[in-house]
Amino acid sequence: MFSTEVRATRCIFASNIIKVNQTDQQTYIAKTLHGLEPVLVAELAAIGASNISTLKRAVSFNGNKEVFYKANYLCRTALRILRPVASFAVESQEDLYVKVKELPWHDWMTVDNTFAIDAVVSNSVFTHSQFTAQRVKDAIADHWREVCGRRPDVELQNPDLRINLHLSGNEASLAFDGSGEPLFKRGYRLATGEAPLNEILASGILLLAGYDGSTPLHDPMCGSGTLLTEAAMIAQNIPAGYYREVFGFMKWPDFDEDLWQQIKDKADDQLRDQQHPITGSDLDATVVEVAQGNLRSARLHKDISLMKADFMRLPPPGDSGILVMNPPYGERMKQNDIVSFYQGIGDALKRNWSGWTAWIITSDLSAMKFIGLKPSQRFTLFNGPLECRLSGYELFSGARRDMLASRSH
């Protein structure tokens, strides 16, 4: 047991591992969605990260505190930014408990800090993530109870320290979550439609499609307007975290408010005017109203035009641009309707949208063949648990399409 003096000191002291200087290089993990790793690699390189390495649904990188703050504020396809602090082998739940309890928690937090555990278990001897998280929570609580006679509180919604536990096989790793709420929670969306895309996936789709604001964009099945909002943010260079007020690292002992404000001010000074139209439509007038409310929340309602319209009869708003859509999946439509619906999409693309590039994401992989066009690019993504395909189509005029078809034979 510790002496009274040592106990008193360790009850209030938090020193080394979170408290790093602005110039210190640290290793971080940026979580993302399957298929968006290459996009995130490019984003991290653009903000000055080094030693970038692709992982499964994640990217590791090195950087100082400035890079860490920028990753949270600027990266459109990052889900969370984690700071690894410990890794070790474990053989049992009891072994995990003992090794977590022995970690120097007094270096990372005080007994007055709140904390929460997020556990991810994969291919492991441990099979229940909730029970595993409970054992880690008990280990931290018991560490503090022995050190100073009381324990810190667990706070699930907005803890001072959110701890990420990952167990793969018998390897355990602990990291501190610098983002807090997942970064797809941009802060602008008031309501959603049916089966919405999250903001990270929407941004990833646009970036994979090569959208940078230098061409018109239209979403003919706009739902709650997420693709449109993310497109406007790209076109106007609005940072991904622009609408958020709170990030997890703001409660860390080393939070540098001056540096954070400098990064925000510099990024916000680089906002630009939108040069090309962004438009959206949907067959459901109620959905259009939801999208309009979200755009108003993001203060983008004057920059994006919305209308109620049937895509099958919709004339394009210009001679060229990017058409991007998230049509209903098979889970929401009967099979006969799916066939005619996707055939209708293909007919409308071929009839009306020559000169445009169309990008369609769907989890109904068999339905895509009924579009009747050969994709020029294809990516595998996930919308929640649903495996999806993002397919890109170059839409040429009839004469050029026939010429290209003859060359391919």
The closest alpha carbon to 327, from 279, 377, 283, belongs to 283
User: Which two tokens mark 2?
Assistant: 């510790």
What is the structure's pLDDT at 132? 87
What is the structure's pLDDT at 61? 98
User: Which two tokens mark 109?
Assistant: 């937090």
Instruction: Render each residue's pLDDT in the chain as its tens digit; 409 residues.
Output: 444 444 444 565 444 444 445 568 899 999 999 999 999 999 999 999 999 999 999 999 999 999 999 999 999 999 999 999 999 999 888 899 999 999 999 888 999 999 999 998 887 667 778 888 999 999 999 999 998 889 999 998 889 999 999 998 889 999 999 999 999 999 998 866 565 789 999 999 999 999 999 999 999 999 999 999 999 999 999 999 999 999 999 999 889 999 999 999 999 999 999 999 999 999 999 999 999 999 999 999 999 999 999 999 999 999 999 999 999 865 555 555 888 999 999 999 999 999 999 999 999 888 899 999 999 999 999 998 899 999 999 998 654 444 344 444 4
Q: Which CATH superfamily does the domain covering 199-239+271-408 fall into?
A: Vaccinia Virus protein VP39 (3.40.50.150)
What is the structure's pLDDT at 391? 97
The segment(s) of the chain belonging to CATH 3.40.50.150 are 199-239+271-408
Architecture of domain 4-31+80-177: 2-Layer Sandwich (3.30)
User: Which two tokens mark 370?
Assistant: 């009924």
Judged by DSSP in three states, 379 sits in strand
What is the structure's pLDDT at 406? 42
The segment(s) of the chain belonging to CATH 3.30.2130.30 are 4-31+80-177
Q: Report d(CA 16, CA 296) in Å as an integer.
A: 44
The closest alpha carbon to 220, from 356, 35, 36, belongs to 356
The closest alpha carbon to 260, from 283, 238, 241, belongs to 241
